[in-house]
Structure 1
Amino acid sequence: MESNRVTARAGSLDQRLRVPDVMNFPGAHLGLSWGMLGAEDVGDVTALDERCRPVDRPSTLRRLEVIAPILGLAPTAHRYEVLGGRDSQGELRAVGVVGLMAGADSEHVCTIEAFVDPTWRGRGIGRALIDWQDGRARQLISEDGRDLPVSIESRVVSHLTERRRLLAAAGFSPHRTIEYLVRTVDGSEGPSPIVAAKLEAAGVSLIPFDPSLNEEVRTVFNRSQSLSLGGRLMPAEDFARRADEIDPALSYVAVTDSDRIVVGFLLARVENGDYGHESWIEYLAIERGWRNRGIADALMSEHLRRCNEQSIPQTGISIDTNLNETSKSWVTRWDFFPRSTDIVYAIEM
């Protein structure tokens, strides 16, 4: 007698990933010789990035502080692999980065990024890099072995329509947007009596940021991330490295008056890039139980006052709009306006 019982089982991590056994480098027919890049290639990578900037007009610069950990020149808990393509003269013409993010406890997150010399575009190099990066990302996730949801992501500036087309053709879909907003700093910036009164009523004071507070600040940051980005936490060594860029003169930490517990912070750095001399707010977070008490307003007010004192004409911040519309609304209330937008494309499994 035949059984009518239906049997089924959940697919394993490798079955969901469809991991390729071997990932070959892009073909020689593209005109480039391929190899993995490391610390000794940092000069060539930064030179290629500088050639790409006028065409790509990126929302944020690939500063040396960002490139260094990717090439193994600075400590990081993330795992990076960097593929480079050189022409017959040895000039670096294309770079593809794959990064397996540490600290993402509820899902595997792998990021891919590529930049190709403008004079070498339109030859199929971009698509070949995406195919290699996608396959290598799946291999890295498989090596990790934890049976978690998967997100392979690539961030692209919204005006780079060809890059967006390539990602879509490779199976990536628009997932969320990141807006870069800026605000002009003028001579009217100063302490607000209303903001000061709210801060006093909350029993909170602002103190300048100091690296000795790194771990306390990182703890608050990670708690806020777990609420908005599904547990994508910042490892200690990566936060410490990023904190080295923070300008204490523009950055403040909110602590309780009674027991000096950190309940919020605004950390900013100074940048001299394509948009001139400006401040950029890297981190802004308030502990969940201390929100809506005027602490964020106090931090922003003090930051703008210090920017004005130091003759910094503009400050900016990035907002993940799909995950944090409340923050965007608050930032807009402070007269920030959009300068550029990145779209995060993803393959989710």
Structure 2
Amino acid sequence: MSTETPTIAPIAERAAPPATLTIPTAGGLTWRAATREDAPTWLALRNLISRADAEPYVETLEEIEEIFEGAWRDMTADSLLGFDADGALVAWAQVDSPPGDVTTVRAFCWGGVHPDRRGEGIGRELLAWGTGRARQMLAASGKDVPGRIGVFAEDDAPASKHRLYERAGFGVRRYYSDLARALTGPYAAPVPDVALTGTLRLVPWSTDLDEATRLAHNDAFRDHWGSQPQTREQWQQRAGFAPEWSFVVVDDAPDVEALLASPDTDPETAAALRAGEPLVVGYQLAARYTEDFEVRGYSFGYTDILGARRAYRGRKTALAALAAGMRAFAAEGMQYAALDVDTANPSGAHGLYASLGYTKTTGSRMYSIEL
């Protein structure tokens, strides 16, 4: 029996990029790339679509403006806005390929059409444009690893959206659950007290621990499906970040020799250890989405990312950081704590969240074309 690892064709071949992209013609719209000046108008359309489709969130101007900050993006090639004869924005698309991808190179397609202009074929042609651009980006990456083109949809999004993706060749690959638990009222369970052992110490997030937290995150999510390392620039894109609600666990006296000898220690962490940098081993980074309070019908603090270094799993570092975040939410009068989780998370997160009183509020899914 052969033990050789199967080889795959170069990504430039598998992606099958089109030489040129076909601009949509449906709806008689005028198309051009998005600019920073479009941000307010773009935001208005995106939130109009969000409300029409009963999505559990809206977006902010900060989030739209942040899109233009990523140096890896070329918005002149990666975005498309469609205007009607009166100059009103009625459709949009954007494609993004995270620069830190290593073992799977990905490109994600985003877009939407004004509810009053649906049924004209605009969305179908816009998705075809986005998929073509995604293929170009993957081919240009030069990363000869598995490739993925992804799109997302809420579970209860209009059926036409799910059909659109399926007819374009996308298949459901992953499901996600949005969870929440009460922090106030008669049904709110107490936030647990979590005692850390040894040289582990819980501290508020701070800028001098941010790089160490990025390294911890890349390690924690290395074995999570669909996750790839984040570069320093990617890590800085965090619209809505609430530092006052964020906490990390550091090991004040790590066994540096053992960590350096471990094959699981990545090169960036090894370099930080040799330099005597702090070692973050667990973290909870939170976000404040005030605009979503009205949509959900309650105020909440959001755990944006939560994790523990793999060598420290079982030592309650993530739980300690999460509990600290929940207390910070409650101290500011938030009614709920919320977060999002992959339904197939390998770290036992579902059991942890259930034990803390989190229950599912909404769900979403990722569709993809695997290359």
1:157 Cα deviation from its structure 2 partner = 0.8
Indicate the percent of aligned positions where both proteins have the same amino acid: 26
Say if 1:204 and 1:255, in contact at 8 Å, map to a contact too. yes
Q: Does the aligned pair in 2 maintain the 1:203–1:258 contact within 8 Å?
A: yes
> After the TM superposition, which residues 47-196 of structure 1 pair with which residues of structure 2 at under 5 Å, given as runs?
47-70=44-67, 72=68, 74-78=69-73, 81-160=78-157, 161-186=159-184, 192=192, 195-196=194-195
Shift of 1:230: 5.5
Q: For structure 1, which segment, 40-49 or 249-258, has the greater mean C-alpha deviation from structure 2 after superposition? A: 249-258
Q: How many residues align?
A: 333
- For residues 335 and 279 of structure 1, the distance between their equivalents in structure 2, rounded to whole angstroms, comes to 15
Residues 1:246 and 2:241 aligned together: yes
Deviation at 1:278, TM superposition (A): 1.6
SS at match of 1:58: coil
* Structure 1 counterpart of 2:285: 267
SS of 1:330's equivalent in the other structure is helix
Show the counterpart of 1:321: 343
The residue that corresponds to 2:369 in the other structure is 347
* Distance in 2 separating the partners of 1:202 and 1:103: 34
Do the aligned residues in 2 keep the contact of 1:79 with 1:100 (CA within 8 Å)?
Answer: no
User: Does structure 1 residue 338 correspond to structure 2 residue 338?
Assistant: no
Does the residue aligned with 2:228 lie in a helix, a strand or coil?
coil
Gap change, CA 1:192 and 1:129, over 3 Å in 2: closer
Contact 1:220 1:263 in 2 (8 A): yes
Amino acid at match of 1:247: A
- Mapped partners of 1:60, 1:132: distance in 2: 26
C-alpha distance 192-43 of structure 1, shift in aligned 2 (>3 A): closer
> How far off its partner does 1:79 sit?
5.3
Instruction: Please give the secondary structure, in 1, of the residue aligned with 2:223.
Output: helix
Select which of 289, 294, 297 maps to 2:319.
Answer: 297
CA contact (8 A) 2:66 2:237 kept: no
**Aligned partner (choices 276, 280, 301) of residue 279 of structure 1:** 301
The offset of 1:135, in angstroms, is 0.9
Cα distance 1:39–1:316, how it changes in 2: closer, same or farther (>3 A)? same
Is the 8 Å Cα contact of residues 240 and 289 (structure 2) preserved in structure 1? no
8 A Cα contact 1:189 1:304, kept in partner:
no
Do 1:82 and 1:97's aligned partners in 2 also have CA atoms closer than 8 Å?
yes
Residue 14 (structure 1) aligned with residue 15 (structure 2): no
1:77–1:237 CA contact under 8 A, matched in 2: no
Moved more, 117-126 or 57-66: 57-66
Inter-partner Cα distance in structure 2 for 1:192 and 1:105? 37
Aligned residues of 2:184 and 2:335 also touching (Cα < 8 A): yes
Structure 2 alignment gaps of length 5 or more: 1-6, 255-277
* 1:139 shift after superposition: 1.2
**Residue 13 of structure 1: CA displacement?**
2.9
1:225-284, Cα deviation, whole Å (9 max, x unpaired): 222136611121221231x74323321111124365311111112221222432111111
Letter in 2 for 1:203: T
Partner Cα separation in structure 2 for residue 206 and residue 252 of structure 1:
7
Paired amino acid for 2:213: V
| Aligned partner letter, 2:17 | V
Contact 2:153-2:366 within 8 A present in 1 as well: yes
Contact 1:79 / 1:102 at 8 angstroms: preserved in 2? no
Partner secondary structure for residue 271 of structure 1:
coil
1:312: which partner in 2? 334
Secondary structure in structure 2 of the residue aligned to 1:205? strand
Amino acid at match of 1:179: S
Normalising by structure 2, we get a TM-score of: 0.84
Task: Indicate the RMSD between aligned Cα atoms, in angstroms.
Answer: 2.1
Residue of structure 1 equivalent to 2:203:
207
Give the TM-score normalised by the residue count of structure 1: 0.89
Q: Tell me which residue corresponds to 2:262.
A: none
- Equivalent position to 1:255, from 239, 250, 257: 250
Per the alignment, do residues 58 and 211 of structure 1 end up closer, same or farther by CA in structure 2, a change over 3 Å counting?
Answer: farther
Q: Per the alignment, in what secondary structure is the counterpart of residue 109 of structure 1?
A: strand
Gaps of 5+ in 1: 1-8
Where does residue 3 of structure 1 map in the other structure? none
